[in-house]
């Protein structure tokens, strides 16, 4: 019996995605729970697993856009594995799974009766495999309607299986490529942010000397104790939480004619991937230690690169931090992530001359940028927030150090 593999619902408001890669190929024997393919949506990439064991027959190609509920493959759980045992009798590993040999169209239905002349004619003319046609007649026999339906569905499948190709101009000067769902979602979100918020950015700079020294002095012991390195992002998350407590309006959002104050601190950390920017959420950041924060950050970065973030990893969030400094950015204005009202931008650490007690000294400096929704936050509040972050970074003892 052929079991259909359909695109599952992977999150609210997600209606389509792209089959980015098949982990199994047509003809492979798969076990229940094996990853069949990766579905890339406008929010996350998700591995779709087999619900039953059997021989896989793929319908769509890699790179093809599909809708939620669409059939992308079938798994024939009645076929046997390479050693003659049925799937229920023996579960073979991925490496040992044998591919079934190609066979000509069967001339008998499942109950052993020969195909009727009308059915045989359709099978031969359309070059169908009778073994892949589900019979609805008595005893599972293939009827003429079954054969006609199989021929019609195959035509649709062949048409759907043509993946979107890059199109190059005749002179080779331009290439037109379809944007991925994630890239299209990012584009729409950024435009929506600009159109629906009164975005303003305020700037400051902070001396990273104290944090750099504390990090260097604590790194070996911290890594040995916690199994993860101490980075700068955990300091900025902690500093942002302290600033959000000082200026609660930055941790809220506008909803219709009301303003919602959030008494929890779910901080989004922007992560760049080859497919685009995603913002996984560090939940209850105020309750987590530096080690917990670093583990969360490292875990999200790995999952983002491998396309394994789940929908619950990126939904929600009360405030966002983005670090363009890892790419060398010296100065930038981050765009709000609605419905949030604030986003902190970190930048590259550079040695710069500054005045210290009337003397010029060279210090490791970082520009900070806070973009905020001016509909809800006044300039005084935004500046107060940013100065609080600066103070916590320049004097880390103001933070709840727990390492």
Contact 234, 293 (CB under 8 A): yes
CA 296, distance to chain mean position in Å, is 16
Beta strands in 208-304 (DSSP E): 253-255, 258-260, 267-269, 271-273, 276-278, 281-282
CA dist., res. 265 & res. 272, Å (int): 22
Determine whether 378 is an active site residue: yes
Pairing of strands 35-40, 253-255: unpaired
Classified as helix, coil or strand, 83 is coil
Task: List Cβ neighbours of 35 (8 Å cut-off, separation of 6 or more).
Answer: 23, 24, 47, 48, 49
CA dist., res. 132 & res. 151, Å (int): 11
Determine whether 292 is an active site residue: no
Tell me which of 217, 220, 378, 395 is the catalytic residue. Answer: 378
Contact 240, 303 (CB under 8 A): no
Rounded alpha-carbon distances, angstroms, from residue 323 to 68, 70, 125, 371 = 34, 38, 62, 13
Q: What residues are labeled active site?
A: 374, 378
């Amino acid at each position: 019996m052929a079991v259909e593999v359909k695109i599952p619902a992977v999150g609210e408001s997600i209606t389509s995605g792209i089959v980015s890669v098949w982990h199994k190929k047509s003809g492979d024997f798969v076990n229940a729970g094996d990853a069949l393919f990766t579905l890339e949506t406008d929010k996350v990439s998700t591995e779709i697993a087999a619900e039953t064991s059997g021989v896989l027959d793929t319908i769509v190609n890699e790179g093809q856009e599909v809708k939620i509920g669409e059939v992308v493959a079938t798994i024939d759980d009645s076929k046997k594995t390479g050693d003659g045992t049925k799937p229920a009798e023996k579960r073979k590993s991925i490496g040992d799974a044998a591919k079934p040999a190609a066979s000509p169209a069967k001339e008998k239905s499942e109950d052993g009766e020969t195909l009727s002349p009308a059915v045989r004619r359709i099978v031969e003319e359309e070059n169908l495999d009778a073994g892949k046609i589900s019979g609805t007649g008595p005893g599972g026999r293939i009827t003429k309607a079954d054969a006609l339906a199989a021929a019609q569905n195959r035509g649709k499948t062949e048409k759907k299986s043509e993946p979107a190709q890059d199109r190059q101009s005749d002179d080779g000067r331009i290439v037109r490529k379809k944007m991925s769902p994630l890239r299209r979602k990012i584009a729409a979100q950024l435009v929506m942010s600009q159109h629906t918020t009164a975005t303003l950015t305020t700037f400051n700079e902070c001396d990273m000397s104290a944090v750099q020294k504390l990090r260097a002095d604590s790194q070996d012991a911290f890594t040995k104790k916690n199994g993860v390195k101490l980075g700068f992002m955990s300091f900025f998350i902690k500093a942002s939480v302290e600033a959000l407590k000082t200026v609660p309006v930055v941790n809220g959002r506008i909803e219709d004619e009301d303003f919602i104050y959030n008494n929890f601190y779910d901080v989004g950390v922007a992560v760049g991937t080859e497919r685009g920017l995603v913002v996984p959420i560090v939940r209850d950041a105020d309750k987590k230690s530096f080690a917990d924060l670093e583990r969360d950050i490292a875990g999200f970065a790995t999952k983002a690169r491998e396309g394994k973030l789940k929908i619950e990893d990126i939904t929600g969030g009360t405030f966002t931090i983005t670090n363009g400094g890892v790419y060398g950015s010296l100065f930038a204005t981050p765009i709000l992530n609605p419905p949030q009202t604030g986003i902190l931008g970190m930048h590259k650490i550079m040695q710069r001359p500054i005045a210290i007690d009337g003397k010029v000294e060279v210090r490791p400096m970082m520009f900070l940028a806070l973009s905020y929704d001016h509909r809800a936050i006044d300039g005084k509040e935004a500046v107060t927030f940013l100065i609080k972050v600066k103070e916590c970074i320049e004097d880390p003892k103001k933070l709840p150090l727990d390492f």
